[in-house]
């Protein structure tokens, strides 16, 4: 994936300014920066979730496997099937655990029961939730704890086998133990998937990501290999932010 | 959840189909005789319909609504015949509607027994007018119980019964009669019966066809010494013994009647038709 | 599966999205067209009368005699206003007292009983209240005031019945407002040593005042549009009471006039147009009332910077009492107007009274605005410092006038003035005594009186229910439920009426559900927030507040007369459907909007289309709310009388017909018929009332079960 000279306006307000960044395959890319810097906006642009916002205008290019995501002929639904998303707050559907997982596959035309069962197990195993819920797949997803719910959401995304998984501060609503589990999961996932994660937590970015982008006021201040960014950033702004001497 | 959804969708689809179907059903009433109007005449018309459909190849629809609906529907062609329990006023008929008198009805005055008018209460036309215009407010002034206030009940504005009653008072008491405002207005004969029966010292007026069954705390009043009977109502207009508070029941048609409508109207005036008129409690006008 | 060579270019797969959007749009437009059509229909028909009568003559004429060509609507408009005013005088203290009791004093268990009781009473059909009024209240009043009430039917009776009807609305909405005041306010006040009563009076009530005002205004809106109950107990004389405050007089409201005279008028005549003009006046009055309520809610919300998605829920209204709220000023203005009107019209005549009252109103409004605007300037300060004193003397004056007004109905001028003076002196003596009482004692007194209020309110409501149930039960039998009426309703059964009501409800459902639900979904999910959407919402709100009798008027003119269906099931169903349509649209929309955005995003992020998301995620999640709204709307449709009495319901049917073009019997209309026209049928009346009550309450119970089940399953 590639982002080139990307600009975005909400009404008159410009939220992203000339953003450039690559997303490497089967790696974890982290986006960090203070609140309101545009990192979530950028992430949501990657599977066109910003289409839902009225009077949102974009300019520039964002490509996926060489094709422009924002091309007029692009099929948004097909795009989102291949670029999945995990949200800040766990948002399972008010249905049973099983129905949560099968929702996506059904939408995309899989109806054979055996096939669906297989997907349910496979996804939950991948999301490290299988052992905890295998005996109560029929129960409401809302009966799970927050961390379990978030892993269920990850399983739900995995069920349709996306190529890229976007994570929008997936651990901000969770306690440390649940957070650790999600982090482990993210690392595990990068074998098969490309992961882009937005996080407030710099340690988290340092711990799990391969590449890190630091954003400030809608601009991509610095992008590079995580180790470099955290040990010897080239921009002063980045350094001040990661050492906590900021605003 | 899924079954619920399916049910919901099923209902939705059924409804979608039903609405247009019913819409076409409304427009699809060919070969019929539509009659609409006064609820006073409606029971009679239903009886007539029962008999008439036995030998005439016709499908009749009788609906109520009120005298106004009768006129409106006939004028705009929705009904072939309109039923009226009052005369047409002003230019309501727009010069097009033709009236056909099929029976007579009278308005009978009733009082609550606490008025103290005795077993055979009688009031003059003038006294009635005074009571209804508000000049007299105590039964003592007309020979009843002194100190008992007169509680006046009337039908609502626009009712045929009220028109008939007011018309008679204007004609036979004084021409500038105007009903007072402080009356208890109700919108049916039954409601008047109920109000007069339940209220000490109440007076009201009802249709002749229900006056036979008066009982309980209410009695009928003769006017100027004449009580309402079939004979007294049918007397010659110049006869001093005629009961004066009467009216015609009218059917109206748009222009001169033809075909099935004419057949029907003629049949009502035959002995068979008038027999039914009498059974329904109205007064036949074929002289039998 | 992860075939990297797939393109994201559009493939030729069928996309429901584009198609469904237009399907929804089409259905929603039909609904909107219907709504605009009704509003236009009434407008055009009504405006026709203006040419014949003249607006000034219509609004100021004091004689309503269509038979003689005089169309002075003032007595009718005043009738509506006065009956409503009386109802609020009766219902506000009781309602507010009960609300305070339930919110602040009642133990938790008692509260959980009282709340549902209130909701039950909000659901009882108008005709049942009217029936109760006619058969219990009217004779009672006649016995209490034999010298003043010939019939018992009167303004007083109307106001009491309307007041009872408005009670549940006032109680539950203002109770919600008080519950919404944060616990921390109460704790802060109590922590400073205030008693519970002081906390209630000085913190909770002022903080919830907007909600209380909105509740009152909603109550007024409901009362002024009432038809059946009012028509049955006010006597329907189109007169202006003399003197103006003589609540023993009979009077007639706009709604009753419409219901009484509609069947007798000829379409196209002046009388016909005049009735539509009356309907228009009524709609404008209700609209103004509801608009005021909305404004108050909006203001209080803005003060808190709250952003709420649902439009009509009053649940979270809170307010601080830093400044005197608008509602207080409106109340002051209204009382100034009426007091001046009363005095001046007693001394001079009504017309002069109106001029004086308007003048006083203007002066008062100007002065109060000046005081409010001038903020910290010295004069304003002086005035506002004396405000409590001014206020107190105003209250005392009002008390004096009121006492005199009531007394003058029973005695001659000098005696009544004397009586008023005695009341005044008692009040003047009482105020310092009350002031000197300890906080504890005051709390005792206040709480005791609140206990009395709640006992009284509950007693009224229970008496109503007990009366109907105890006298209705003996009437219930197989013959009654499955037999046909005999002897003109004196005996036999009510089977055709039960069947007719079921037919009506079913037909209404068939028409209103698809239109209403689809439109609601369209508005919530697809409609952009443009000006036209705004206009549509306004139109829906207008229709939502329109009194039911106006729908009856419309149904009669459009179907019975114009389309020529006569009294027919289909005409009744369409009329009822149009009436409940706005309710269905709004509740559907609210339920759909209440579904969190995150769920939609989750579904979209999985590659679902908007239509799939709506059908498979949003609607199932909103299902409980939607179904609750649907059932409630049907409950309302089942109990309505005014819309069907000119469109579908007849007094007697000898068989149950399934044809859409046949008229039907219906329970509410049958009850009305028996109560007003068939003397001696008390047993049948009570039986019918009970069956109607059971049917309607069953639906409300069903709704709350559904709501409870779904609120348990789904939490966010």
Distance from CA of C208 to the nearest CA of A (A): 33
Whether residue B63 and residue C260 make contact (CB cut-off 8 A), yes or no, is: no
Q: How many domains does chain A have?
A: 1
- Residue that wins the pLDDT comparison between C381 and C102: C102
Q: Any chain C CB within 8 A of the CB of A138?
A: no
Across the interface, do C8 and A108 touch by the CB < 8 Å criterion?
Answer: no
Q: Could you report the per-residue pLDDT of C300-312, keeping only the tens digit for each?
A: 655 444 433 333 3
- C131 has a pLDDT exceeding 90: yes
Q: Is C688 left (phi over 0), alpha (psi -120 to 50) or beta?
A: alpha
In sequence order, the β-bridge partners of residue A213 are: A31, A223
pLDDT the model gives residue C114: 87
User: Which of the four pLDDT bands, split at 50, 70 and 90, describes residue B27?
Assistant: very low
Give C133's DSSP letter. I
Q: What percent of chain A has pLDDT over 90?
A: 20
Share of chain C above pLDDT 70, in %: 87
DSSP codes joined into one string, B46-73: HHHHHHHHHHS--EEEEEEE-HHHHHHH
- pLDDT attached to residue B213: 73
How distant is the Cα of C593 from the closest Cα of chain A, in angstroms? 15
Give residue-wise pLDDT tens across range C224-241. Answer: 999 999 999 998 888 888
Question: Residue A207 has which token pair?
Answer: 């711990």
Nearest residue in A to C9, CA atom:
A74
Give the list of residues 6+ apart from residue C496 with CB closer than 8 angstroms, or none: C484, C485, C653, C655, C656, C664, C665
pLDDT reading at A199 higher than 80: yes
Q: What span, in angstroms and rounded, lies between the C-alpha atoms of C127 and C670?
A: 10
Residue A236 lies in a domain: yes
DSSP character string of C364-427: HHHHHHHHHHTTT-HHHHHHHHSHHHHHHHHHHHHHHHHHHHHHHHHS-HHHHHHHHHHHHHHH
Facing B63 at nearest CB: one of C265, C272, C663: C663
Q: Does C658 touch chain B (CB under 8 A)?
A: no
Question: Residue C314 has what pLDDT?
Answer: 35
Closest CA to C576 of C630, C516, C629, C638: C638
Superfamily of domain C493-713: MetI-like (1.10.3720.10)
Q: Distance between CA atoms of B124 and B245, rounded to whole angstroms?
A: 12
In whole angstroms, give the CA distance from residue B105 to residue B99. 16
- Report residue C643: phi and psi, to 5°: -70, -25
Region B97-119 average pLDDT: 90
- In the predicted model, is pLDDT for residue B189 greater than 90? no
**What per-residue confidence (pLDDT) applies to C102?**
92
**For residue C58, is pLDDT > 90?**
no
Q: What is the mean pLDDT of chain A?
A: 88
pLDDT band at C489 (very low <50, low <70, confident <90, very high): confident
* pLDDT of B4 higher than 70: no
Are C31 and C582 in contact, with CB atoms under 8 Å apart? no
> How many angstroms separate the CA atoms of C596 and C713, rounded?
15
C379: pLDDT strictly greater than 60: no
Task: Please determine, for residue C326, whether its predicted confidence score (pLDDT) is greater than 60.
Answer: no
C101-106 mean pLDDT: 90
Once rounded to an integer, what is the mean pLDDT over residues C143-171? Answer: 89
Q: Which of C257, C564, C671 to mutate to test the interface with B (most CBs of B within 10 A)?
A: C564
Q: Which residues of C touch B187 (CB under 8 A)?
A: 259-260, 263
On the question of pLDDT at C319 being above 90, the answer is no
- Round the CA-based radius of gyration of chain A to a whole number and report it: 18
Judged by CB atoms closer than 8 Å, whether chains meet at A52 and C601 is answered as yes
Over residues A194-208, the mean pLDDT reads 89
Choose among B105, B104, B106, B103: nearest CA to B226.
B106
CA distance C639 to C669: 9
The model's pLDDT over C661-712, given as tens digits with 9 standing for 90+, comes to 888 889 999 999 888 877 778 889 999 999 999 999 888 888 888 877 776 6
Residue A118 lies in a domain: no
At residue C164, does pLDDT exceed 70? Answer: yes
Q: C197 falls in which pLDDT band (50, 70, 90)?
A: confident
Count CB atoms within 10 A of the CB of residue C417. Answer: 16
Residue C345 has pLDDT above 90, yes or no: no
| pLDDT tens for each residue of C601-622 | 899 888 888 888 888 889 888 8
Phi, psi of C124 (to 5 degrees): -65, 130
In this prediction, residues C540-553 reach a mean pLDDT of 88
Decide the pairing of beta strands C64-65 and C70-71: antiparallel
- Residue C163: helix, strand or coil by DSSP? helix
Average per-residue pLDDT for chain B:
83
Contact B26, C565 (CB under 8 A): yes
Closest-CA distance of chain A to residue C594, Å: 13
pLDDT above 50: residue C716: no
Per-residue model confidence (pLDDT) at position C1? 39
Q: For residue B28, what pLDDT is reported?
A: 43
Peptide bond into C243 cis (omega under 30): yes
**What strands, in cross-sheet order, belong to the sheet with A194-198?**
A83-86, A164-168, A194-198, A28-32, A211-216, A219-225
Most C CBs within 10 Å: which of B94, B147, B181, B207, as the mutation test of the C interface? B181
For the segment C28-45, the average pLDDT, to the nearest whole number, is 85
Report yes or no: B272 and B52 within 8 Å, Cβ to Cβ: no
Q: What is the pLDDT of residue B5?
A: 57
Helix (H, G, I), strand (E, B) or coil at C641: coil
Across the interface, whether the CB atoms of A94 and C612 are under 8 A apart is answered no
Q: Which residues of C touch B186 (CB under 8 A)?
A: 236, 676
pTM of the model: 0.81
Q: How confident is the model at residue C331 (pLDDT cuts 50, 70, 90)?
A: low
Q: Are C396 and C427 in contact (CB under 8 A)?
A: yes
Q: Is residue A141 part of a domain?
A: no
CATH of domain C54-307: 1.10.3720.10
Residue C351, pLDDT score: 64
Range of the domain at A41: 2-91+162-242
Reported confidence tier of residue C321, pLDDT bands at 50, 70, 90: very low
Q: pLDDT tens digit string along A9-25?
A: 888 888 899 999 999 88
Tokens of A76: 């948004």
- CATH code of the domain in which A183 resides: 3.40.50.300
In this complex, do A94 and C9 lie within 8 Å of one another by their Cβ atoms? no
Q: How confident is the model at residue C340 (pLDDT cuts 50, 70, 90)?
A: confident
Closest residue of C to A107, CA-based?
A: C608
Chains with 3 or more CB pairs under 8 A to chain B: C
pLDDT in tens, B203-242: 999 988 777 777 788 999 999 999 888 889 888 888 888 9
A215 domain residue, yes or no: yes
Q: Which of C106, C105, C109, C97 is nearest to C195 (CA)?
A: C105
Q: Does A153 reside within a domain?
A: no
Residue C352 has pLDDT above 80, yes or no: no
C714 Cα to chain A: minimum distance (Å)? 6
**Is B65's CB within 8 Å of C561's CB?**
yes
């Amino acid at each position: 994936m590639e982002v080139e000279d990307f600009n975005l306006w909400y009404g008159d307000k410009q939220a992203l300014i000339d953003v450039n960044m690559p997303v490497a395959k089967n790696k974890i890319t982290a986006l960090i920066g203070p609140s309101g810097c545009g990192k979530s906006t950028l992430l949501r642009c990657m599977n066109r979730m910003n289409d839902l916002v009225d009077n949102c205008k974009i300019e520039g290019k964002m490509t996926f496997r060489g094709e422009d995501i924002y091309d007029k002929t692009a099929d948004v639904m097909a795009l989102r099937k291949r670029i999945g998303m995990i949200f800040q707050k766990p948002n399972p559907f008010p249905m049973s655990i099983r129905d949560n997982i099968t929702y996506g596959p059904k939408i995309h035309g899989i109806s054979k029961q055996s096939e669906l069962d297989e997907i349910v197990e496979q996804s939950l195993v991948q999301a490290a939730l299988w052992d905890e819920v295998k005996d109560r797949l029929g129960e409401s997803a809302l009966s799970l704890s927050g961390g379990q719910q978030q892993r269920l959401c990850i399983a739900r995304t995995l069920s349709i086998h996306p190529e890229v998984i976007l994570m929008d501060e997936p651990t901000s609503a969770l306690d440390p133990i649940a957070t650790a589990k999600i982090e482990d999961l993210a690392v595990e996932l990068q074998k098969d998937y490309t992961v882009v994660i937005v996080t407030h937590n710099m340690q988290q970015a340092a711990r799990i990501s391969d590449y890190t982008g630091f954003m400030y006021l809608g601009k991509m201040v610095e992008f590079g290999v995580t180790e470099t960014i955290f040990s010897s950033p080239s921009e002063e702004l980045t350094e001040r932010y990661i050492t906590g001497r900021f605003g | 959840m899924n079954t619920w959804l399916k049910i919901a969708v099923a209902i939705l689809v059924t409804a979608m189909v039903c609405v247009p179907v019913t819409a076409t059903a409304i427009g699809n009433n060919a070969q019929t005789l539509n009659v609409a109007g006064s609820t006073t005449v409606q029971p009679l018309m239903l009886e007539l319909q029962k008999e008439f459909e036995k030998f005439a190849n016709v499908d009749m629809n009788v609906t109520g609504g009120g005298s106004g609906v009768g006129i409106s529907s006939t004028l705009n062609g929705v009904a072939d015949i309109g039923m009226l329990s009052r005369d047409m006023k002003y230019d309501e008929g727009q010069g097009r509607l033709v009236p056909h008198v099929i029976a007579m009805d009278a308005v009978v005055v009733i009082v609550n027994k606490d008025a103290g008018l005795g077993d055979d209460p009688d009031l003059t036309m003038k006294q009635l007018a005074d009571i209804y215009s508000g000049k007299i407010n105590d039964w003592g002034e007309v020979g009843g119980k002194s100190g008992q206030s007169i509680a006046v009940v009337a039908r609502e504005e626009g009712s045929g019964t009220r028109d008939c009653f007011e018309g008679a008072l204007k004609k036979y008491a004084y021409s500038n009669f105007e009903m007072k405002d402080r009356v208890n207005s109700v919108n049916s004969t039954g409601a008047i019966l109920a109000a007069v029966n339940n209220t000490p010292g109440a007076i009201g007026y009802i249709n002749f066809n229900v006056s036979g069954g008066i009982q309980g705390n209410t009695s009928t009043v003769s006017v100027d010494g004449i009580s309402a009977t079939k004979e007294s109502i049918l007397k010659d207009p110049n006869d001093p013994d005629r009961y004066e508070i009467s009216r015609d029941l009218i059917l109206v048609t748009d222009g001169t009647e033809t075909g099935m409508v004419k057949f029907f109207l003629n049949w009502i005036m035959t002995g068979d038709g008038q027999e039914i008129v009498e059974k329904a409690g109205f007064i036949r006008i074929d002289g039998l | 599966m992860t075939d990297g060579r797939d393109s994201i270019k559009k493939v030729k797969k069928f996309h429901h999205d584009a198609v469904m959007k237009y399907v929804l749009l089409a259905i929603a437009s039909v609904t909107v067209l219907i709504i605009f059509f009704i509003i236009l229909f009434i407008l055009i028909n009504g405006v026709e009368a203006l040419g014949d009568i003249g607006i000034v003559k219509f609004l100021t004429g004091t004689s309503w005699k269509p038979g003689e060509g005089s169309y002075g609507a003032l007595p009718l408009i005043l009738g509506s206003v006065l009956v409503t005013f009386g109802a609020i005088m009766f219902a506000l203290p009781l309602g507010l007292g009960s609300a305070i009791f339930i919110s602040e004093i009642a133990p938790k268990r008692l509260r959980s009983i009282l709340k549902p009781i209130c909701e039950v009473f909000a659901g009882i059909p108008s005709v049942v209240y009217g029936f109760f009024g006619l058969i219990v209240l009217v004779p009672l009043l006649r016995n209490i005031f034999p010298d003043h009430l010939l019939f018992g039917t009167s303004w007083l009776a109307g106001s009491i019945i309307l007041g009872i009807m408005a009670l549940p609305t006032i109680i539950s909405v203002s109770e919600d407002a008080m519950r919404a005041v944060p616990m921390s306010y109460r704790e802060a006040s109590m922590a400073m040593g205030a008693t519970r009563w002081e906390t209630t009076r000085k913190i909770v009530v002022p903080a919830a005042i907007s909600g209380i005002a909105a509740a009152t205004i909603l109550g007024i809106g409901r009362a002024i549009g009432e038809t059946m109950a009012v028509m049955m107990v006010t006597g329907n004389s189109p007169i202006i009471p003399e003197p103006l405050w003589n609540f023993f007089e009979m009077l007639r409201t706009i709604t009753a006039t419409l219901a009484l005279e509609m069947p007798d008028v000829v379409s196209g005549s002046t009388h016909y147009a005049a009735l539509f003009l009356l309907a228009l006046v009524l709609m404008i009055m209700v609209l103004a009332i509801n608009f005021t309520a909305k404004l108050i809610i909006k203001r209080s919300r803005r003060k808190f910077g709250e952003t709420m998605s649902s439009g009509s829920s009053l649940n979270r209204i809170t307010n601080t009492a830093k400044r005197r709220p608008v509602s207080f000023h409106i109340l002051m203005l209204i009382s100034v107007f009426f007091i001046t009107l009363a005095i001046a019209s007693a001394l001079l005549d009504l017309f002069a009274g109106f001029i004086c009252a308007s003048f006083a109103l203007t002066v008062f409004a100007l002065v109060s605005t000046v005081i409010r605007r001038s903020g910290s300037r010295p004069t304003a300060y002086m005035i506002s410092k004396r405000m409590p004193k001014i206020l107190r003397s105003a209250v005392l004056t009002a008390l004096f006038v009121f006492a005199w007004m009531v007394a003058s109905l029973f005695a001659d001028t000098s005696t009544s003035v004397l009586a008023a003076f005695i009341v005044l002196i008692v009040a003047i003596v009482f105020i310092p005594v009350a002031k000197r009482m300890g906080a504890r004692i005051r709390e005792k007194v206040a709480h005791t009186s609140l206990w009395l209020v709640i006992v009284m309110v509950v007693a009224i409501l229970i008496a109503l229910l007990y009366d109907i149930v105890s006298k209705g039960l003996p009437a219930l039998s197989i013959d009654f439920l499955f037999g046909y009426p005999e002897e003109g309703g004196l005996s036999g059964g009510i089977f055709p009426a039960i069947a007719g009501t079921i037919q009506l409800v079913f037909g209404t459902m068939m028409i209103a559900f698809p239109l209403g639900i689809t439109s609601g979904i369209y508005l919530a999910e697809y409609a952009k927030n443009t000006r036209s959407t705004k206009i549509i919402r306004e139109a829906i709100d207008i229709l939502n507040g329109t009194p039911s009798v106006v729908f009856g008027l419309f149904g009669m003119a459009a179907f019975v007369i114009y389309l020529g269906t006569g009294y027919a099931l289909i005409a009744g169903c369409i009329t009822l459907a149009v009436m409940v349509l706005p309710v269905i649209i709004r509740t559907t929309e609210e339920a759909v909007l209440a579904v969190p955005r995150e769920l939609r995003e989750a579904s979209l992020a999985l590659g679902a289309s908007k239509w799939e998301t709506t059908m498979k995620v949003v609607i199932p999640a909103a299902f409980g709310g939607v179904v609750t709204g649907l059932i409630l709307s049907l409950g309302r449709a089942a109990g309505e009388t005014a819309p069907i009495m000119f469109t579908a319901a007849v007094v007697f049917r000898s068989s149950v017909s399934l044809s859409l073009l046949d008229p039907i019997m219906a329970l509410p209309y049958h009850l009305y018929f028996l109560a007003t026209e068939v003397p001696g049928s008390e047993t049948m009346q009570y039986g019918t009332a009970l069956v109607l009550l059971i049917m309607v309450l069953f639906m409300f119970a069903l709704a709350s079960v559904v709501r409870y089940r779904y609120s348990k399953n789904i939490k966010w």
